[in-house]
Amino acid sequence: MKVLKIFIPLIFIFSILIVDYYNKFHKENTNFDQENIFFYVIKEDSIAFADSISKYIKNKKSFYKVAERLDYIENKKTGRFKINKGEGNNDIIRSLKFNNTPVTVTFNNQERVENLAGRVSKQIYEDSLSLIKAFKNEDFLKKNKLNDSNILSIFIPNSYNVYWDTSPEDFRDKMLNEFNKFWDKDRSQKAEELGLSKFEVISLASIVQIESRKIDERPRVAGLYLNRLRDNMRLQADPTVIYTIKEYYKNFDTIIRRVLYRDLKLDSKYNTYKIKGLPPGPITMPDISAIDAVLNFEKHNYLFMVANPSNKGYHLFASDLSGHNRNKRAYIRWINSKGIYR
């Protein structure tokens, strides 16, 4: 009986300890309805962490006790962590330690590295200035035979999985790796057959992309510009003039619907009415369809084109100047009738 009297209280105490342990470590402590949430942690910002985590847990006191016991509070990691509904404190903290989950970064149609950095910074932790600094790092540019004018070329528009806390340098290096994978044997061979480097293909593709938003027309537009390059003619591409205007007035947010004759005289390494050959880099970030349109251009004899007033988004093509002038007069009558003077 004496043994039983001692043993029963011990069982009672042990049971209390087990229940207390379970409640602290394993009892459900999530406070959201979704199957899971993604929780963003910035290592250095303890106040923001406390404010944010309190929205997703029921019992803050028990959470912090377990967090301290598991040595988490002083060893937080920056990242995007997946927490599942129904988890207890132990599993929540394990998720915050080990379940760093990638984000899908998407970008396209960026005119400059600065625009790209702004777009990417909204999707990962790093700010745009840090990204720009990494993109334009002199050692990186020199090592990879790049420069300020063509650095945009390595960013192929697509969706990429990266960690939210990836460094600017790691993001940049991943994009260079993706660029090299994009230029497989087939694409590289086609560029070589055109007598163009990869960067020249992308510069031309950027012009093709802005010149025609119609994907099915892009190979024809690419063929026209390649004909002009072959014949040693200036490209005289209006998209390069629009870029020149934006660069000249330092306003890349301006909308230009009509190129004027005075614009053609602006001095710029991008103005293909003034220079021969291709500009030193892309005037926008061409998508894959524009790049492949250059590599798989349509063979024809066209040298001139102008927007088609009767088929929005498409162009009228001509192989000689007289035919082009007829098409041009029709276009000018149409654009004047719409009251578009800029």
Same domain for 132 and 30: no
Are the beta carbons of 142 and 153 closer than 8 angstroms? Answer: no
Q: Are 203 and 153 in contact (CB under 8 A)?
A: yes
The pair of three-digit structure tokens given for residue 341, joined into one six-digit string: 């003077």
How far apart, in whole angstroms, are the C-alpha atoms of residue 115 and residue 157? Answer: 13
How many structural domains is the chain composed of?
3
Torsion (CA) 80, 84, 86, 87 in degrees, nearest 10: -60
Q: What is the pLDDT of residues 290-325, one digit of tens each?
A: 999 999 999 999 999 999 999 999 999 999 999 999
Q: Evaluate whether residue 276 is within a structural domain.
A: yes
41, 71, 98 - which closes a domain: 98
pLDDT for the residue 24 = 59
* Mean pLDDT by groups of 10 residues along the chain of 342 residues: 57 54 71 94 83 91 91 91 94 93 96 96 97 98 96 97 97 98 98 97 98 97 98 97 93 88 94 97 97 98 96 95 94 88 71
In one-letter notation, the amino acid at residue 325 is N
Among residues 182, 212, 232, which one ends one of the domains?
182
Is the pTM value of this prediction over 0.75?
Answer: yes
Q: What is the DSSP code string of 263-288?
A: GGG---TT-TTTSSS--SS-SS---H
Classify residue 122: in a domain, yes or no. yes
